[in-house]
Structure 1
Amino acid sequence: MARLPPTSDSGRLLPVVPKDPLTNALDAIVVSTDLIEDELRPHLETVLTVIQEKQRGAAEHVAVSGVLPTLAQALRRRGPLTLITAKLVSELARETVIRERCGETGVSSALLSVLLSRDQELLIHAGRAIARICYESRCQQEQLLRLGAVPRLVGILLGFKSNQALEGVCLVALCNLGDMGEGGEDGGISWERGVSLCPEESVFRGVTCHSCGFGSMVTVVRLTQWSPGQHTVSIEVLSRYSIGFWTMHNNRRTVRRSPLSHLGTCPRFYKAIKYSVQNIPNSRSLKSLIFHIFL
Protein backbone atom coordinates (compact mmCIF):
# COMPACT_ATOMS: atom_id res chain seq x y z
CA MET A 1 0.00 0.00 0.00
CA ALA A 2 1.42 3.37 -1.01
CA ARG A 3 2.22 5.80 1.78
CA LEU A 4 0.07 8.92 1.66
CA PRO A 5 1.74 12.33 1.88
CA PRO A 6 1.29 14.20 5.19
CA THR A 7 -1.76 16.43 5.50
CA SER A 8 -2.92 19.12 7.90
CA ASP A 9 -6.13 19.05 9.95
CA SER A 10 -7.90 20.86 7.12
CA GLY A 11 -6.92 18.19 4.64
CA ARG A 12 -4.32 20.26 2.81
CA LEU A 13 -1.10 18.61 1.74
CA LEU A 14 1.88 19.65 3.84
CA PRO A 15 5.18 20.45 2.14
CA VAL A 16 7.86 17.80 2.48
CA VAL A 17 10.84 19.37 4.23
CA PRO A 18 14.08 17.89 2.86
CA LYS A 19 16.60 16.61 5.38
CA ASP A 20 19.84 18.49 5.80
CA PRO A 21 23.09 16.83 4.64
CA LEU A 22 24.17 15.96 8.20
CA THR A 23 20.91 14.16 8.97
CA ASN A 24 21.05 12.26 5.69
CA ALA A 25 24.64 11.21 6.34
CA LEU A 26 23.96 10.10 9.92
CA ASP A 27 20.88 8.12 8.89
CA ALA A 28 22.87 6.32 6.20
CA ILE A 29 25.69 5.44 8.60
CA VAL A 30 23.38 4.21 11.37
CA VAL A 31 21.47 1.77 9.14
CA SER A 32 24.63 0.38 7.56
CA THR A 33 25.53 -3.16 8.61
CA ASP A 34 28.15 -4.18 6.05
CA LEU A 35 30.26 -0.99 6.24
CA ILE A 36 30.78 -0.89 2.48
CA GLU A 37 33.43 1.71 1.66
CA ASP A 38 31.85 3.15 -1.50
CA GLU A 39 28.56 3.67 0.32
CA LEU A 40 29.79 5.04 3.64
CA ARG A 41 32.87 7.11 2.80
CA PRO A 42 30.90 10.07 1.34
CA HIS A 43 28.68 10.14 4.43
CA LEU A 44 31.65 9.99 6.82
CA GLU A 45 33.27 12.84 4.91
CA THR A 46 30.06 14.87 5.17
CA VAL A 47 29.90 14.45 8.94
CA LEU A 48 33.61 15.26 9.25
CA THR A 49 33.19 18.47 7.24
CA VAL A 50 30.21 19.61 9.31
CA ILE A 51 32.04 18.95 12.59
CA GLN A 52 35.19 20.73 11.40
CA GLU A 53 33.07 23.73 10.43
CA LYS A 54 31.69 23.74 13.99
CA GLN A 55 28.10 24.12 12.85
CA ARG A 56 25.78 24.90 15.73
CA GLY A 57 24.12 21.84 17.23
CA ALA A 58 26.03 19.40 15.02
CA ALA A 59 27.81 17.63 17.89
CA GLU A 60 24.56 17.20 19.82
CA HIS A 61 22.90 15.84 16.69
CA VAL A 62 25.67 13.27 16.25
CA ALA A 63 25.53 12.30 19.93
CA VAL A 64 21.84 11.39 19.87
CA SER A 65 21.80 9.89 16.37
CA GLY A 66 23.07 6.48 17.46
CA VAL A 67 26.02 6.63 15.07
CA LEU A 68 28.80 6.14 17.65
CA PRO A 69 28.48 2.32 17.90
CA THR A 70 28.78 2.11 14.11
CA LEU A 71 31.93 4.23 14.23
CA ALA A 72 33.33 1.91 16.90
CA GLN A 73 32.62 -1.06 14.65
CA ALA A 74 34.40 0.61 11.73
CA LEU A 75 37.46 1.22 13.93
CA ARG A 76 37.63 -2.42 15.01
CA ARG A 77 37.36 -3.83 11.49
CA ARG A 78 40.67 -2.29 10.39
CA GLY A 79 39.40 -1.84 6.86
CA PRO A 80 39.59 0.97 4.31
CA LEU A 81 37.24 3.10 6.42
CA THR A 82 39.33 2.92 9.60
CA LEU A 83 41.52 5.96 8.88
CA ILE A 84 38.72 8.39 8.04
CA THR A 85 36.69 7.03 10.97
CA ALA A 86 39.59 7.65 13.35
CA LYS A 87 39.94 11.16 11.96
CA LEU A 88 36.22 11.76 12.47
CA VAL A 89 36.25 10.39 16.02
CA SER A 90 39.26 12.58 16.81
CA GLU A 91 37.33 15.67 15.73
CA LEU A 92 34.16 14.57 17.51
CA ALA A 93 36.13 14.04 20.73
CA ARG A 94 36.60 17.80 21.00
CA GLU A 95 32.98 18.01 22.12
CA THR A 96 31.99 17.20 25.70
CA VAL A 97 28.64 15.76 24.63
CA ILE A 98 30.53 13.19 22.53
CA ARG A 99 33.32 12.45 25.01
CA GLU A 100 30.95 11.41 27.76
CA ARG A 101 29.38 8.79 25.46
CA CYS A 102 32.58 7.22 24.14
CA GLY A 103 32.81 4.63 26.90
CA GLU A 104 29.27 3.29 26.77
CA THR A 105 29.18 3.15 22.96
CA GLY A 106 32.43 1.19 22.64
CA VAL A 107 34.39 3.98 20.97
CA SER A 108 37.06 4.10 23.69
CA SER A 109 37.82 0.37 23.58
CA ALA A 110 37.79 0.45 19.77
CA LEU A 111 40.39 3.23 19.78
CA LEU A 112 42.64 1.11 21.98
CA SER A 113 42.44 -1.73 19.46
CA VAL A 114 43.61 0.73 16.80
CA LEU A 115 46.75 1.43 18.86
CA LEU A 116 48.03 -2.01 17.83
CA SER A 117 48.27 -0.82 14.22
CA ARG A 118 51.58 -0.03 12.49
CA ASP A 119 50.00 2.77 10.42
CA GLN A 120 51.53 5.90 11.95
CA GLU A 121 48.94 8.32 10.55
CA LEU A 122 46.18 6.16 12.00
CA LEU A 123 47.99 6.06 15.34
CA ILE A 124 48.19 9.86 15.43
CA HIS A 125 44.43 10.27 15.00
CA ALA A 126 43.62 7.49 17.49
CA GLY A 127 46.06 8.86 20.07
CA ARG A 128 44.70 12.37 19.65
CA ALA A 129 41.15 11.08 20.13
CA ILE A 130 42.16 9.30 23.35
CA ALA A 131 43.89 12.45 24.64
CA ARG A 132 40.75 14.49 24.04
CA ILE A 133 38.34 11.91 25.45
CA CYS A 134 40.11 11.64 28.81
CA TYR A 135 40.97 15.33 29.23
CA GLU A 136 39.70 16.46 32.65
CA SER A 137 37.33 13.49 32.80
CA ARG A 138 38.00 11.20 35.73
CA CYS A 139 35.43 8.67 34.51
CA GLN A 140 37.00 8.34 31.06
CA GLN A 141 40.51 8.30 32.54
CA GLU A 142 39.69 5.41 34.84
CA GLN A 143 38.02 3.40 32.09
CA LEU A 144 40.90 3.86 29.65
CA LEU A 145 43.42 2.96 32.36
CA ARG A 146 41.52 -0.25 33.14
CA LEU A 147 41.47 -1.14 29.45
CA GLY A 148 45.26 -0.81 29.18
CA ALA A 149 45.75 2.54 27.46
CA VAL A 150 49.06 3.30 29.18
CA PRO A 151 51.08 0.27 27.99
CA ARG A 152 49.84 0.67 24.44
CA LEU A 153 50.70 4.36 24.31
CA VAL A 154 54.16 3.76 25.72
CA GLY A 155 54.64 0.83 23.37
CA ILE A 156 54.15 3.33 20.54
CA LEU A 157 56.64 5.74 22.12
CA LEU A 158 59.24 2.99 22.29
CA GLY A 159 58.49 1.69 18.80
CA PHE A 160 58.30 4.92 16.75
CA LYS A 161 61.07 7.10 18.15
CA SER A 162 61.66 9.00 14.91
CA ASN A 163 58.08 10.28 14.50
CA GLN A 164 57.95 13.49 16.53
CA ALA A 165 54.29 14.20 15.76
CA LEU A 166 53.22 10.76 16.97
CA GLU A 167 55.52 11.08 19.97
CA GLY A 168 53.89 14.36 20.99
CA VAL A 169 50.38 12.93 20.65
CA CYS A 170 51.22 9.95 22.88
CA LEU A 171 52.85 12.15 25.52
CA VAL A 172 49.80 14.41 25.68
CA ALA A 173 47.54 11.35 25.96
CA LEU A 174 49.65 9.99 28.84
CA CYS A 175 49.50 13.33 30.65
CA ASN A 176 45.74 13.60 30.18
CA LEU A 177 45.25 10.02 31.37
CA GLY A 178 47.11 10.92 34.56
CA ASP A 179 45.02 14.09 34.91
CA MET A 180 48.22 16.08 34.38
CA GLY A 181 47.27 17.75 31.11
CA GLU A 182 48.38 21.33 30.57
CA GLY A 183 47.47 23.70 27.77
CA GLY A 184 44.07 22.23 26.90
CA GLU A 185 42.89 18.89 25.56
CA ASP A 186 45.53 18.87 22.80
CA GLY A 187 48.30 19.88 25.15
CA GLY A 188 49.61 22.95 23.34
CA ILE A 189 53.03 21.74 24.47
CA SER A 190 56.33 21.93 22.63
CA TRP A 191 58.11 18.63 23.34
CA GLU A 192 61.79 17.76 23.20
CA ARG A 193 63.89 14.87 24.43
CA GLY A 194 65.69 15.56 27.69
CA VAL A 195 68.90 14.21 29.14
CA SER A 196 68.52 10.76 30.68
CA LEU A 197 70.52 9.66 33.70
CA CYS A 198 70.86 6.05 32.57
CA PRO A 199 70.42 3.98 29.38
CA GLU A 200 67.20 2.48 30.73
CA GLU A 201 65.54 5.90 31.00
CA SER A 202 63.87 8.09 28.37
CA VAL A 203 63.07 11.68 29.29
CA PHE A 204 60.66 14.00 27.49
CA ARG A 205 60.36 17.67 28.36
CA GLY A 206 57.44 19.83 27.31
CA VAL A 207 56.92 23.57 27.75
CA THR A 208 53.65 25.49 27.72
CA CYS A 209 53.96 29.28 27.78
CA HIS A 210 51.47 31.35 29.78
CA SER A 211 49.47 33.86 27.80
CA CYS A 212 50.68 36.69 30.05
CA GLY A 213 54.26 36.02 28.98
CA PHE A 214 55.69 35.99 32.51
CA GLY A 215 56.10 32.26 32.91
CA SER A 216 55.56 28.77 31.61
CA MET A 217 54.56 25.27 32.66
CA VAL A 218 57.17 22.55 32.29
CA THR A 219 56.01 18.95 31.97
CA VAL A 220 58.58 16.18 32.40
CA VAL A 221 57.70 12.61 31.42
CA ARG A 222 60.15 9.83 32.31
CA LEU A 223 60.02 6.25 31.08
CA THR A 224 62.25 3.99 33.15
CA GLN A 225 62.78 0.29 32.51
CA TRP A 226 63.11 -1.51 35.84
CA SER A 227 62.96 -5.10 34.51
CA PRO A 228 62.53 -6.75 31.09
CA GLY A 229 59.26 -5.51 29.63
CA GLN A 230 58.44 -3.56 32.79
CA HIS A 231 58.52 0.23 32.87
CA THR A 232 57.63 3.08 35.18
CA VAL A 233 56.09 6.26 33.83
CA SER A 234 56.50 9.37 35.95
CA ILE A 235 54.91 12.70 35.11
CA GLU A 236 55.87 15.95 36.79
CA VAL A 237 54.49 19.43 36.15
CA LEU A 238 56.30 22.54 37.36
CA SER A 239 55.54 26.25 37.20
CA ARG A 240 58.39 28.43 36.04
CA TYR A 241 58.33 32.23 36.22
CA SER A 242 60.58 34.82 34.64
CA ILE A 243 62.71 37.38 36.48
CA GLY A 244 60.28 40.05 35.28
CA PHE A 245 57.44 38.34 37.12
CA TRP A 246 59.36 38.23 40.40
CA THR A 247 60.46 41.85 39.97
CA MET A 248 56.88 42.99 39.45
CA HIS A 249 55.72 40.85 42.37
CA ASN A 250 58.37 42.25 44.72
CA ASN A 251 57.58 45.82 43.73
CA ARG A 252 54.01 45.31 44.88
CA ARG A 253 54.71 43.69 48.22
CA THR A 254 57.61 42.56 50.34
CA VAL A 255 57.60 38.87 51.11
CA ARG A 256 60.01 36.50 52.77
CA ARG A 257 61.34 34.00 50.27
CA SER A 258 63.34 30.83 50.64
CA PRO A 259 66.95 30.76 49.39
CA LEU A 260 65.81 28.71 46.37
CA SER A 261 62.97 30.99 45.30
CA HIS A 262 65.15 32.77 42.74
CA LEU A 263 65.02 29.61 40.64
CA GLY A 264 61.40 30.41 39.87
CA THR A 265 60.21 26.79 39.85
CA CYS A 266 58.10 24.76 42.20
CA PRO A 267 56.69 21.25 41.66
CA ARG A 268 52.93 21.21 41.29
CA PHE A 269 52.17 17.54 40.77
CA TYR A 270 53.95 14.25 40.63
CA LYS A 271 52.47 10.92 39.60
CA ALA A 272 53.98 7.56 38.78
CA ILE A 273 52.43 4.75 36.76
CA LYS A 274 53.87 1.22 36.77
CA TYR A 275 52.88 -1.09 33.96
CA SER A 276 53.99 -3.83 31.62
CA VAL A 277 54.36 -3.38 27.87
CA GLN A 278 55.30 -6.99 27.26
CA ASN A 279 52.95 -9.37 25.45
CA ILE A 280 50.11 -6.90 24.94
CA PRO A 281 47.03 -9.12 24.44
CA ASN A 282 44.86 -8.97 21.35
CA SER A 283 41.87 -10.25 23.30
CA ARG A 284 39.05 -7.86 24.08
CA SER A 285 38.46 -9.53 27.43
CA LEU A 286 38.58 -6.93 30.21
CA LYS A 287 40.37 -9.39 32.49
CA SER A 288 43.18 -9.97 30.01
CA LEU A 289 43.61 -6.24 29.31
CA ILE A 290 44.19 -5.13 32.91
CA PHE A 291 47.80 -4.21 33.70
CA HIS A 292 49.54 -3.23 36.91
CA ILE A 293 48.72 0.47 36.85
CA PHE A 294 49.01 2.76 39.85
CA LEU A 295 48.17 6.46 39.85
Structure 2
Amino acid sequence: MENLREALEKLKLASTDSTTDSMETSLDCLLTALAQNNTEASRKMQGMGVLPLLPTLLSPQSSCTPKVANIIAEMAKNEFMRNPCVEAGLIPPLVQLLNSSDQEVLLQTGRALGNICYDSRK
Protein backbone atom coordinates (compact mmCIF):
# COMPACT_ATOMS: atom_id res chain seq x y z
CA MET A 1 0.00 0.00 0.00
CA GLU A 2 3.00 2.32 0.31
CA ASN A 3 3.30 2.14 -3.48
CA LEU A 4 -0.28 3.38 -3.59
CA ARG A 5 0.62 6.55 -1.69
CA GLU A 6 3.53 7.17 -4.04
CA ALA A 7 1.36 6.52 -7.11
CA LEU A 8 -1.29 8.92 -5.82
CA GLU A 9 1.30 11.67 -5.35
CA LYS A 10 2.67 11.05 -8.85
CA LEU A 11 -0.85 11.11 -10.27
CA LYS A 12 -1.50 14.49 -8.65
CA LEU A 13 1.69 15.84 -10.23
CA ALA A 14 1.07 14.20 -13.61
CA SER A 15 -2.47 15.56 -13.78
CA THR A 16 -1.09 19.10 -13.64
CA ASP A 17 1.63 18.68 -16.26
CA SER A 18 -0.11 16.09 -18.47
CA THR A 19 2.79 13.65 -18.80
CA THR A 20 1.03 10.58 -20.13
CA ASP A 21 3.78 8.06 -19.30
CA SER A 22 3.91 9.08 -15.67
CA MET A 23 0.13 9.12 -15.48
CA GLU A 24 -0.18 5.65 -17.07
CA THR A 25 2.25 4.19 -14.54
CA SER A 26 0.37 5.76 -11.64
CA LEU A 27 -3.00 4.58 -12.95
CA ASP A 28 -1.64 1.04 -13.34
CA CYS A 29 -0.48 1.11 -9.74
CA LEU A 30 -3.92 2.28 -8.57
CA LEU A 31 -5.60 -0.53 -10.51
CA THR A 32 -3.21 -3.07 -9.00
CA ALA A 33 -3.93 -1.79 -5.49
CA LEU A 34 -7.67 -1.97 -6.14
CA ALA A 35 -7.31 -5.55 -7.40
CA GLN A 36 -5.37 -6.57 -4.29
CA ASN A 37 -7.55 -4.90 -1.66
CA ASN A 38 -10.38 -2.86 -3.14
CA THR A 39 -11.84 -1.55 0.12
CA GLU A 40 -8.58 -0.39 1.68
CA ALA A 41 -7.26 1.08 -1.58
CA SER A 42 -10.54 2.94 -2.16
CA ARG A 43 -10.43 4.42 1.36
CA LYS A 44 -6.84 5.51 0.87
CA MET A 45 -7.58 7.10 -2.51
CA GLN A 46 -10.55 8.95 -1.09
CA GLY A 47 -8.51 10.10 1.91
CA MET A 48 -5.75 11.44 -0.31
CA GLY A 49 -8.18 13.46 -2.40
CA VAL A 50 -7.98 11.61 -5.70
CA LEU A 51 -11.67 11.84 -6.61
CA PRO A 52 -11.60 15.57 -7.50
CA LEU A 53 -8.71 14.91 -9.92
CA LEU A 54 -10.57 12.26 -11.89
CA PRO A 55 -13.11 14.38 -13.82
CA THR A 56 -10.29 16.27 -15.54
CA LEU A 57 -8.63 12.97 -16.49
CA LEU A 58 -11.77 11.74 -18.28
CA SER A 59 -10.96 13.43 -21.55
CA PRO A 60 -12.28 11.73 -24.72
CA GLN A 61 -8.91 12.39 -26.40
CA SER A 62 -6.75 10.86 -23.66
CA SER A 63 -5.31 7.38 -23.90
CA CYS A 64 -5.64 7.20 -20.08
CA THR A 65 -9.44 7.57 -20.11
CA PRO A 66 -10.29 3.82 -20.07
CA LYS A 67 -8.02 3.27 -17.06
CA VAL A 68 -9.50 6.24 -15.21
CA ALA A 69 -13.02 4.97 -15.87
CA ASN A 70 -11.92 1.49 -14.74
CA ILE A 71 -10.55 2.96 -11.48
CA ILE A 72 -13.87 4.73 -10.89
CA ALA A 73 -15.76 1.51 -11.62
CA GLU A 74 -13.62 -0.44 -9.18
CA MET A 75 -13.90 2.17 -6.43
CA ALA A 76 -17.68 2.42 -6.89
CA LYS A 77 -18.04 -1.28 -6.14
CA ASN A 78 -17.87 -0.12 -2.52
CA GLU A 79 -21.12 1.35 -1.27
CA PHE A 80 -19.27 3.96 0.80
CA MET A 81 -17.64 5.33 -2.38
CA ARG A 82 -20.78 5.92 -4.46
CA ASN A 83 -21.88 9.24 -2.98
CA PRO A 84 -18.32 10.64 -2.96
CA CYS A 85 -18.09 9.75 -6.67
CA VAL A 86 -21.26 11.74 -7.34
CA GLU A 87 -20.09 14.63 -5.14
CA ALA A 88 -16.74 14.74 -6.97
CA GLY A 89 -18.61 15.49 -10.21
CA LEU A 90 -17.79 12.24 -11.98
CA ILE A 91 -21.23 11.66 -13.52
CA PRO A 92 -21.23 14.45 -16.19
CA PRO A 93 -17.83 13.57 -17.71
CA LEU A 94 -18.70 9.86 -17.65
CA VAL A 95 -22.01 10.53 -19.43
CA GLN A 96 -20.14 12.56 -22.07
CA LEU A 97 -17.92 9.54 -22.74
CA LEU A 98 -20.96 7.51 -23.80
CA ASN A 99 -20.57 9.26 -27.18
CA SER A 100 -17.16 7.65 -27.69
CA SER A 101 -16.54 5.16 -30.48
CA ASP A 102 -13.78 3.44 -28.44
CA GLN A 103 -15.14 0.11 -27.17
CA GLU A 104 -12.88 0.05 -24.10
CA VAL A 105 -13.94 3.56 -23.11
CA LEU A 106 -17.60 2.54 -23.48
CA LEU A 107 -17.11 -0.65 -21.48
CA GLN A 108 -15.36 1.03 -18.55
CA THR A 109 -17.67 4.04 -18.62
CA GLY A 110 -20.72 1.78 -18.48
CA ARG A 111 -19.22 -0.15 -15.57
CA ALA A 112 -18.41 3.06 -13.71
CA LEU A 113 -21.87 4.54 -14.17
CA GLY A 114 -23.54 1.23 -13.31
CA ASN A 115 -21.52 0.80 -10.12
CA ILE A 116 -22.08 4.40 -9.01
CA CYS A 117 -25.83 4.09 -9.58
CA TYR A 118 -26.16 0.55 -8.16
CA ASP A 119 -28.84 0.28 -5.50
CA SER A 120 -29.45 4.05 -5.49
CA ARG A 121 -32.88 5.54 -5.39
CA LYS A 122 -31.54 8.91 -6.56
Same fold per superposition (TM over 0.5) = yes
**Alignment-derived partner of residue 115 in structure 2:** 132
Higher relative contact order by CA 8 Å / sep ≥ 6: 1 or 2?
Answer: 2
Note if 1:94 corresponds to 2:77: yes
- Residues 55, 101 of structure 1: alpha-carbon distance in 2 compared, 3 angstrom cutoff: closer
**Alignment-derived partner of residue 12 in structure 2:** 30
Deviation at 1:83, TM superposition (A): 1.6
Note if 1:123 corresponds to 2:114: no
**Alignment-derived partner of residue 3 in structure 2:** 21
In the alignment, the residues of structure 2 paired with residue 27 and residue 75 of structure 1 have an alpha-carbon distance, to the nearest angstrom, of 18
**Alignment-derived partner of residue 86 in structure 2:** 103
- Residues 106, 129 of structure 1: alpha-carbon distance in 2 compared, 3 angstrom cutoff: same
- Residues 96, 115 of structure 1: alpha-carbon distance in 2 compared, 3 angstrom cutoff: same
Please state which structure has a larger fraction of its residues in helix: 2
**Alignment-derived partner of residue 49 in structure 1:** 32
Deviation at 1:93, TM superposition (A): 1.4
Contact 2:7 2:26 in 1 (8 A): yes
In the alignment, the residues of structure 2 paired with residue 69 and residue 84 of structure 1 have an alpha-carbon distance, to the nearest angstrom, of 16
Deviation at 1:97, TM superposition (A): 2.5
* Residue identity matched to 2:2: D
> Aligned runs of 1:224-235 on 2, under 5 Å?
none
In the alignment, the residues of structure 1 paired with residue 80 and residue 88 of structure 2 have an alpha-carbon distance, to the nearest angstrom, of 13
* Residue identity matched to 1:29: L
Larger radius of gyration: 1
> Aligned runs of 1:215-230 on 2, under 5 Å?
none
In the alignment, the residues of structure 1 paired with residue 53 and residue 89 of structure 2 have an alpha-carbon distance, to the nearest angstrom, of 9
Listed one character per residue, the Cα deviations across residues 46-78 of structure 1 (whole Å, up to 9, x for unaligned) are 010110112552111111211112221111353
**Alignment-derived partner of residue 70 in structure 1:** 53
- 4+ residue runs over 6 A deviation: none
In the alignment, the residues of structure 2 paired with residue 45 and residue 91 of structure 1 have an alpha-carbon distance, to the nearest angstrom, of 13
Using structure 1 for the length normalisation, give the TM-score: 0.39
In the alignment, the residues of structure 2 paired with residue 82 and residue 34 of structure 1 have an alpha-carbon distance, to the nearest angstrom, of 16
Contact 1:103 1:109 in 2 (8 A): no
Contact 2:60 2:100 in 1 (8 A): no
Query: Alignment RMSD, CA only?
Result: 1.7
- Residues 97, 37 of structure 1: alpha-carbon distance in 2 compared, 3 angstrom cutoff: same
In the alignment, the residues of structure 1 paired with residue 93 and residue 117 of structure 2 have an alpha-carbon distance, to the nearest angstrom, of 15
In the alignment, the residues of structure 2 paired with residue 30 and residue 95 of structure 1 have an alpha-carbon distance, to the nearest angstrom, of 23
Listed one character per residue, the Cα deviations across residues 111-135 of structure 1 (whole Å, up to 9, x for unaligned) are 1111110111210110111111011
Listed one character per residue, the Cα deviations across residues 82-132 of structure 1 (whole Å, up to 9, x for unaligned) are 121112211111112221111221211111111110111210110111111
Structure 1 gaps, min length 5 = 1-18, 140-295
